[in-house]
Amino acid sequence: MSGIMLIALLAAAIGVGIVGGIRARAQRALRDGTKQHSRPLYHALNVAIWTGIPSFVFVLLWLVGENRVLDTMVLASYPGADSMSYAERSLVASEIRQGVAGNFFREPTEAILSAIERFKNLRAIASAAMLVIAASLAAIGAGLGLRAITPRFRARHSVERSVTIFMLFSSLVAILTTTGIIVSLVYESWQFFSKVPMTEFLFGLRWEPQIPLRDDQVAGHGAFGMIPVLFGTFAVSALAMAVAVPVGILSAIYLTEYSDHRFRAVVKPLLEILAGIPTIVYGFFAVLTVAPAVRTLGLSLGIPSAPNSALAAGAVMGVMLIPFISSLSDDAFAAVPRSIRDGSFALGATKGETIRKVLLPAALPGIVGGVLLALSRAIGETMIVVMAAGLIATMTVNPFQSVTTVTVQIVTLLIGDTEFDNPKTLAAFALGLVLFVITLGLNLIALRTVRKYREKY
């Protein structure tokens, strides 16, 4: 609730800034009677920006850092904290935080209770301090902004400069996001490779991500070799592409070359619906209907079949990708110049011959680019495989057996409470890094293929 109060407070401060700015400007205009550089609104906005933005940025930074600082402060006075490992410290910290929220999972010790008390005290002080500092920042900003109001003051320039800076920062968000993804994945993977050797991860043939609960446990250390997981990912993606590529390209051919406008206007949006359905819906559908049917089919053919088969997941994923491939091939066909088509017809080729011998080769780079983009989607697709593919990493070429994928492993390793210090959690980040690198590579190759081709005509 303090969040809403803060927002209200900031809004009020900005409102006061606007009103005050307009009034002050009007008074000075009366007194001086000279020509103004900027319209009143800009003076007011300038005051509002001075009032609101510094304290807003301050509050944001404070909130981001608050919990960390409080944890460190409370842990510093926790008995025996100096001798604890990182894992124990974070355990204690999370127990304290849960306790502050009123959740106890076990009888709290004396030390925990006093730490909770201390945390609450510190937090009360912290939020009071934050309010005071934010309010004084707003007041100082308002004061400075109001003082700046003179007839000659170029308020509009000042406001526009602030707006430009905001826009510049906004456009940097994309870079920040990419950096955030790379830094967090690399950092956590690096931690993972300090526990599990990189060669084992990259070339290991067994994937059994267990960790011993006790040191003397027989099950011992799990195996973290990603080859079988990667194999499963490509198996499912290959099945998906086997469905999506022919259906997608053939429907694009029909829609661009054969059908009349009315048919196209109705069918194309209907196909696009397939792309708009959330993947969790496909996943549930795969489990509910497709997987049992595939299993029955497999068993009736005498092939050993699992309840969750690679084929079920792949086929459903393929359907999801149909509109994707279809519309990208559509674009590729549309980009082939009319004259090439006409030339082929003039030589007496039928429509089918023109399509197969002239259009398809000319549009091929674009289609290949589209297929690569679709493949990258298939590899990164999560919910369908989480629900319909398996959990156990097996290397099998039988599509009726269950395989696991990179995304499935990421989700299953990270569902539930996670601590950032065991190889199981960190393995998910290493897999995430692999996934990111593969999809990034495919996307770049695909975009390059498409762009190169576009330059040709």
Partner 1 sequence: MGAGTAGAAFDWKSPAMETRRARRYAADRRLQWYGIIAIALALGFLIFLIGTLTYSGYKAFVQTKAVVEIDLAGKEIDPSNLMAANWRGILRGELRNLVDDLPRSQEKSFFDIFTSSSHFIVRNTVIADPSRLGRKSAFEIPLSDPLDQLSKGEIDRETPADRRRVDDDQIRIFDDLKAQDRIIRPFNWELFTSYDSRFPELAGLRGALSGSFWALLVCFLISFPVGIAAAIYLEEFAPRNRTTDFIEININNLAAVPSVVFGLLGLAVFLGWFGLPRSAPLVGGMVLSLMTLPTIIIVTRAALKSVPSSIREAALGVGASKHEAIFHHNLPLAMPTILTGTIIGLAQALGETAPLLLIGMNAFISADPGGVMQPSTALPTQIYIWADSPERGFVARTSAAILVLLGFLLVMNAAAILLRQRFEKRW
Report 187-216 residues binding partner 1 (CB under 8 A).
187-188
What values do phi and psi take at 207, rounded to 5?
Answer: -125, 100
Question: Does 350 help bind partner 1 (rule: CB under 8 A)?
Answer: yes
> Of the candidates 10, 130, 403, 428, which one interacts with partner 1 according to CB under 8 A?
428
Whole-number minimum distance, CB 274 to partner 1, in Å?
Answer: 6
> Of the candidates 71, 78, 317, 333, which one interacts with partner 1 according to CB under 8 A?
71
Question: Does 57 help bind partner 1 (rule: CB under 8 A)?
Answer: no
Which range touches partner 1 (CB under 8 A), out of 24-32, 175-183, 229-237, 338-346? 175-183
Question: Does 11 help bind partner 1 (rule: CB under 8 A)?
Answer: no
Alpha carbons within 13 angstroms on the beta-carbon side of residue 304 total: 5
Q: Where are the alpha helices (DSSP H) in 254-309?
A: 261-276, 279-285, 291-300
Which range touches partner 1 (CB under 8 A), out of 104-112, 268-276, 301-309, 393-401? 268-276
The CA distance from 321 to 248, in Å, is 8
Question: Does 444 help bind partner 1 (rule: CB under 8 A)?
Answer: yes
b (16+ CB within 10 A) / e for 407-441: bbbbeebeeeeeeebebbbbbbbbbbbbbbebbee
Whole-number minimum distance, CB 60 to partner 1, in Å?
Answer: 10
Question: Does 387 help bind partner 1 (rule: CB under 8 A)?
Answer: yes
**What amino acid occupies position 172?**
L
> Of the candidates 386, 389, 393, 450, which one interacts with partner 1 according to CB under 8 A?
386
The CA distance from 388 to 408, in Å, is 10
State the sign of the Cα–Cα–Cα–Cα dihedral 289, 290, 296, 297. Answer: positive
Comparing CA positions, the residue from 301, 315, 302, 312 lying closest to residue 402 is 312
Question: Does 452 help bind partner 1 (rule: CB under 8 A)?
Answer: no
Which range touches partner 1 (CB under 8 A), out of 10-18, 50-58, 142-150, 263-271? 263-271
Pick between residue 134 and residue 381 the one whose CB is nearest to partner 1.
381
Question: Does 174 help bind partner 1 (rule: CB under 8 A)?
Answer: yes
Question: Does 376 help bind partner 1 (rule: CB under 8 A)?
Answer: yes
Report 145-164 residues binding partner 1 (CB under 8 A).
156, 160, 163-164
Question: Does 246 help bind partner 1 (rule: CB under 8 A)?
Answer: yes
> Of the candidates 168, 213, 301, 346, which one interacts with partner 1 according to CB under 8 A?
168
Pick between residue 34 and residue 418 the one whose CB is nearest to partner 1.
418
Whole-number minimum distance, CB 290 to partner 1, in Å?
Answer: 10
Pick between residue 47 and residue 386 the one whose CB is nearest to partner 1.
386
The CA distance from 311 to 388, in Å, is 9
Whole-number minimum distance, CB 97 to partner 1, in Å?
Answer: 9
- Tell the residue number behind the tokens 């039928």, with chain if given: 350
Pick between residue 18 and residue 271 the one whose CB is nearest to partner 1.
271
Q: Distance from first CA to last CA of the chain, Å, rounded?
A: 60
Report 309-328 residues binding partner 1 (CB under 8 A).
319, 322-323, 326
Extract the tokens encoding 149: 């109001």
Question: Does 102 help bind partner 1 (rule: CB under 8 A)?
Answer: no
> Of the candidates 192, 207, 305, 381, which one interacts with partner 1 according to CB under 8 A?
381
Question: Does 436 help bind partner 1 (rule: CB under 8 A)?
Answer: yes
Count of beta carbons in the 10 Å neighbourhood of residue 168: 9
Pick between residue 142 and residue 253 the one whose CB is nearest to partner 1.
253
Question: Does 296 help bind partner 1 (rule: CB under 8 A)?
Answer: no
Extract the tokens encoding 301: 């053919």
Whole-number minimum distance, CB 151 to partner 1, in Å?
Answer: 19
The CA distance from 341 to 359, in Å, is 7
Whole-number minimum distance, CB 214 to partner 1, in Å?
Answer: 26
Question: Does 449 help bind partner 1 (rule: CB under 8 A)?
Answer: no
Residue 238: burial class (beta carbons within 10 Å; 0-12, 13-18, 19+): middle
Pick between residue 121 and residue 178 the one whose CB is nearest to partner 1.
178
| Strand positions, DSSP E, 202-359 | 207-208, 223-224
The CA distance from 302 to 315, in Å, is 20
The CA distance from 280 to 419, in Å, is 27
The CA distance from 307 to 235, in Å, is 17
Report 273-292 residues binding partner 1 (CB under 8 A).
273-274, 276-285, 287-289
Comparing CA positions, the residue from 399, 398, 402 lying closest to residue 390 is 402
The CA distance from 166 to 143, in Å, is 22
Which range touches partner 1 (CB under 8 A), out of 112-120, 306-314, 330-338, 374-382? 374-382
Q: What angle do CA 193, 198, 203 make, to 5 degrees?
A: 145
Pick between residue 215 and residue 417 the one whose CB is nearest to partner 1.
417
